[in-house]
């Protein structure tokens, strides 16, 4: 029986995807399979909704390298008779998706924000034109590779235990040698799950002034996030706080945008917020198109007063 | 050492507007350009050439206007260009782009490095680099924030979701870069004038045996609906802040 195959080098992402795969499998009449390769927590996959979990002890899988993992997954996909392969849209997942799709002669969509079955076809949405639009797309090849954005599925607990199949894989060593790895030492904030985000952009003059922004976030019970330049150019905030096309997307009930002009590369990350508030000096800034409420003014004037008003 | 840089012709995204009634993007009179991250890849290639010599060859597949668009890359320092031109490349998916680029790269006898951006400015799929590497049977090193080439070894730092990874790989390889790798130069007027005279080879897909087979069908491409209140508080003094705070409280957004 044909399968929908799920893989992520991060177990928790794979388990989320399996939750969605179970629903899609039911609608598309596909059995759900997972690939738990290399250092994956094989036991953790037992009751996540997969009918079969493919695993391998091949030593080339000890560390993730895209070309090796693409080869491994192409062999697993053949054995599993997969017609749909879902991978998590991490950076590693995306580089894997492209290579795997090419190897299998498959069409591929990356960063899919939603997956729905319509008239028997798997319909994906993803950002296009740098975030200005949302494209609704289908893959027209018999085999499809899709990398799926975080938050699309929820892990499930299944009473049935997956059948574990150990596969023999023929893999060559990776040509890429990893000489060092350093963790980013992230502060483990959940920007994507935050109820309130206080976002700050180039309107901020100095790193020290973040304190004022943090006070506002605290008064609202929210988290501080930022536009890309504040993290990658100025390095005032860590990269996992970046909102936008090359950063995170959230669905907060409230997003406050301070000193942010509102280019789509940023707004794509907060446009699903229930309420958007903007503070900006430029009365013609694009952010006003996106805002429910706003004050045209200097954020240095407005923010402390707003914090005080909210504290009551 | 020859370096190939893959660039993509896109509409200037800053100038794309959305038709309010239909939410469709409007491309009328929007100029074509090359993507921002493509410029980072070009800049990196030019910097490496300045150190170790050789040639930087820009490779691209695009519309009939590509010979004009590519001048931007030549002005930034690419020495020559290999172009595949067809109206069918407009809106084509990553599989089509990778197949065309691979054939164009096949025209270059000797190269050590294929550089490109982590994703194109418009579609940002991130697939072309890995697909190209697979077609050409080369190693891939993606999301690179720092790059060095010494003799036949590429040393790179990759910026991944939760870590930085220092890797080494022999040449040739496909390397995709992130925007923080460098600050692309702005070409001088002389460079812009010279760009038109640099050598360009222009092919049609059939010249290189490229078959354009799309694997993605786009059903719609619309701006997301934004139904915002767009209320500005402009009373000045402290009144504006009080009104905003009251509005947020009325929406149940203030925790007391």
- CB B25 to CB A129 under 8 A? yes
Selected residue of A69, A131, A133 to mutate for chain B interface (largest B Cβ count, 10 A): A133
Contacts of B126 in chain A (CB under 8 A): 94-95, 98, 110-111
pLDDT band for position A24 (50/70/90)? very high
Split into its structural domains, chain A has a count of 2
Confidence check: pLDDT of B256 > 70? no
Region A151-156 average pLDDT: 92
- Whether residues A233 and A303 share a domain: the answer is yes
Instruction: Determine what percent of chain A is predicted with pLDDT higher than 70.
Output: 99
pLDDT in tens, B72-117: 999 999 999 999 999 999 889 999 999 999 999 999 999 999 999 9
Beta-strand ranges (E) seen in chain A are 3-7, 31-36, 52-55, 82-88, 107-112, 114-118, 121-128, 133-139, 144-148, 163-166, 177-183, 196-200, 223-226, 254-258, 275-280, 293-296
Per-residue model confidence (pLDDT) at position A253:
95
pLDDT band for position A186 (50/70/90)? low
Instruction: Determine what percent of chain B is predicted with pLDDT higher than 90.
Output: 87
- How far apart are the C-alpha atoms of B10 and A37, rounded to whole Å? 38
Residue B198 to chain A, least CA–CA distance (Å)? 30
- CB B226 to CB A290 under 8 A? yes
Per-residue model confidence (pLDDT) at position A95:
98
Contacts of B215 in chain A (CB under 8 A): 106-108, 139-141
- Whether residues A248 and A306 share a domain: the answer is yes
Confidence check: pLDDT of B236 > 80? no
Region A101-125 average pLDDT: 97
* Phi, psi of B103, deg, nearest 5: -65, -40
Domain containing residue A269: CATH number = 3.40.50.1220
User: Which residues are registered as beta bridge partners of A305?
Assistant: none
pLDDT in tens, A253-296: 999 999 999 998 899 999 999 999 999 999 999 999 999 999 99
**Chain B, nearest residue to A123 by Cα:** B219
Residue A209 to chain B, least CA–CA distance (Å)? 19
Contacts of A302 in chain B (CB under 8 A): 240-241
Q: Which of A176, A292, A305 is closest, CB to CB, to B139? A: A176
pLDDT in tens, B202-214: 999 999 999 999 9
- How far apart are the C-alpha atoms of A38 and A58, rounded to whole Å? 7
Q: Is residue A186 part of a domain?
A: no
DSSP states along B213-254: ---EEEEEEEPPP-----EE----TTHHHHHHHHHHHHTT--
- Whether residues A124 and A27 share a domain: the answer is yes
Per-residue model confidence (pLDDT) at position A234:
92
- Whether residues A202 and A158 share a domain: the answer is no
Selected residue of B6, B228, B250 to mutate for chain A interface (largest A Cβ count, 10 A): B228
- Whether residues A151 and A203 share a domain: the answer is no
Instruction: Determine what percent of chain B is predicted with pLDDT higher than 70.
Output: 98
Top pLDDT among A232 and A174 is at A174
- Whether residues A146 and A58 share a domain: the answer is yes
- CB B180 to CB A110 under 8 A? no
**Chain B, nearest residue to A293 by Cα:** B231
pLDDT band for position A244 (50/70/90)? very high
Contacts of A123 in chain B (CB under 8 A): 219
Beta strand pairing call for B200-203 and B80-85: parallel
- Whether residues A32 and A102 share a domain: the answer is yes
Least confident range of A194-198, A273-277, B223-227: B223-227
Top pLDDT among B104 and B16 is at B104
Q: Is residue A189 part of a domain?
A: no
Residue B169 to chain A, least CA–CA distance (Å)? 5
Domain containing residue A76: CATH number = 3.40.50.620
Contacts of B130 in chain A (CB under 8 A): 66, 70, 95-99, 102
- Whether residues A265 and A213 share a domain: the answer is yes
Confidence check: pLDDT of A184 > 90? no
Per-residue model confidence (pLDDT) at position B237:
67
The set of residues, in sequence order, having a beta carbon less than 8 Å from that of B97 and lying 6+ positions away, is: B8, B61, B89, B128
What is the dihedral sign for C-alpha A241, A243, A245, A251? positive
What's chain A's length in residues? Answer: 312
- CB B127 to CB A101 under 8 A? yes
- CB B143 to CB A127 under 8 A? no
Q: Is residue A171 part of a domain?
A: no
Q: Is residue A126 part of a domain?
A: yes
What's chain B's length in residues? Answer: 256
Per-residue model confidence (pLDDT) at position A189:
82
Contacts of B170 in chain A (CB under 8 A): 175
- CB A95 to CB B142 under 8 A? yes
* Domain residue limits at A14: 3-166
Q: Is residue A69 part of a domain?
A: yes
Query: What ipTM goes with this model?
Result: 0.94
Per-residue model confidence (pLDDT) at position B14:
86
Determine if the peptide bond prior to A303 is cis (ω within 30°). no
Per-residue model confidence (pLDDT) at position A311:
86
Q: At what angle do helices A299-311 and B239-250 cross, to 10 degrees?
A: 50
Q: Is residue A124 part of a domain?
A: yes
Confidence check: pLDDT of B238 > 80? no
In degrees, rounded to 5, the angle at the alpha carbon of residue B6 between the alpha carbons of residues B3 and B9 is: 145
Per-residue model confidence (pLDDT) at position A210:
96
Least confident range of A30-44, A281-295, B234-248: B234-248
Contacts of B163 in chain A (CB under 8 A): 181-184
pLDDT in tens, B161-181: 889 999 999 999 999 999 999
Region A15-39 average pLDDT: 97
- Whether residues A154 and A204 share a domain: the answer is no
Residue in the structure block whose two tokens are 């969509």? A109
A131 within 8 A of B16, measured Cβ to Cβ: no
Q: Which of A94, A275, A291 is closest, CB to CB, to B251? A: A275
Contacts of A309 in chain B (CB under 8 A): 241-242, 244-245
- Whether residues A60 and A154 share a domain: the answer is yes
A100 within 8 A of A144, measured Cβ to Cβ: no
What is the dihedral sign for C-alpha B219, A2, A72, B165? positive
- CB B143 to CB A95 under 8 A? yes
Per-residue model confidence (pLDDT) at position A125:
97
- Whether residues A7 and A152 share a domain: the answer is yes
Classify the phi-psi angles of B137: left when phi > 0, otherwise alpha if psi is within -120 to 50, otherwise beta: left
- Whether residues A227 and A155 share a domain: the answer is no
């Amino acid at each position: 029986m044909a399968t929908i195959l799920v893989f992520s080098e991060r177990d928790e992402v794979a388990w989320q995807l399996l939750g969605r795969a179970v629903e899609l499998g039911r609608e598309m009449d596909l059995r759900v399979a997972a690939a738990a390769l290399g250092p994956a927590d094989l036991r953790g996959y037992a009751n996540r909704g997969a009918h079969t979990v493919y695993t391998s002890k091949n030593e080339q899988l000890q560390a993730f390298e895209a070309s090796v993992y693409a080869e491994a997954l192409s062999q697993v996909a053949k054995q599993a008779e997969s017609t749909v392969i879902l991978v998590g849209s991490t950076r590693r997942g995306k580089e894997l998706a492209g290579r795997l799709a090419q190897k299998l002669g498959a069409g591929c969509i990356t960063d899919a924000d939603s997956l729905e079955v319509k008239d028997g076809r798997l319909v994906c949405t993803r950002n296009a034109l740098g975030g200005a639009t949302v494209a609704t797309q289908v893959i027209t090849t018999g085999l499809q590779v899709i990398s799926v954005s975080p938050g699309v599925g929820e892990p499930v607990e299944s009473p049935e235990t997956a059948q574990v199949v150990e596969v023999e894989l023929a893999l060559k060593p990776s040509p890429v040698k990893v000489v060092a790895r350093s963790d980013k030492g992230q502060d483990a904030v959940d920007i994507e799950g935050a109820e309130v985000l206080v976002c700050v952009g180039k309107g901020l003059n100095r790193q020290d002034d973040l304190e004022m922004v943090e006070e506002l976030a605290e008064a609202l019970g929210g988290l501080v996030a930022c536009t890309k330049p504040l993290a990658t150019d100025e390095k005032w905030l860590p990269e996992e706080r970046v909102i936008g096309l090359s950063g995170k997307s959230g669905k907060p009930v409230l997003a406050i945008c301070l000193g942010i002009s509102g280019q789509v590369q940023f707004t794509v990350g907060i446009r699903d917020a229930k309420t958007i508030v903007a503070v900006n000096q430029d009365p013609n800034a694009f952010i006003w198109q996106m805002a429910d409420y706003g004050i045209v003014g200097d954020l240095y004037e407005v923010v402390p007063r707003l914090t005080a008003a909210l504290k009551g | 050492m020859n370096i190939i840089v893959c660039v993509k012709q896109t509409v200037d995204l800053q100038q794309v507007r959305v038709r309010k009634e239909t939410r469709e993007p409007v491309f009328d009179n929007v100029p074509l350009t090359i993507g921002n991250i493509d410029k980072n890849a070009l800049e990196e290639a030019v910097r490496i050439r300045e150190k170790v010599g050789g040639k930087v060859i820009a490779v691209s597949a695009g519309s009939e206007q590509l010979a004009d668009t590519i001048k931007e890359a030549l002005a930034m320092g690419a020495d020559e260009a290999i172009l595949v031109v067809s109206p069918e490349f407009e809106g084509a998916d990553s599989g089509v782009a990778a197949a065309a680029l691979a054939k164009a790269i096949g025209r270059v006898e000797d190269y050590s490095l294929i550089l490109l951006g982590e994703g194109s400015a418009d579609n940002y799929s991130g697939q072309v680099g890995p697909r190209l590497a697979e077609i050409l049977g080369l190693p891939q090193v993606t999301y690179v924030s720092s790059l060095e080439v010494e003799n036949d070894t590429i040393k790179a730092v990759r910026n991944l979701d939760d870590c930085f990874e220092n890797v080494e790989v022999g040449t040739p390889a496909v390397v995709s870069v992130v925007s923080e790798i460098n600050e692309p130069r702005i070409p001088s007027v002389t460079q812009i004038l010279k760009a038109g005279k640099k050598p360009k080879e222009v092919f049609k897909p059939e010249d290189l045996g490229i078959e354009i087979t799309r694997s993605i069908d786009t059903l719609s491409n619309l701006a997301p609906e934004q139904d915002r209140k767009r209320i500005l508080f402009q009373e000045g003094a402290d009144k504006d802040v009080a009104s905003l705070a009251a509005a947020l409280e009325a929406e149940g957004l203030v925790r007391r």
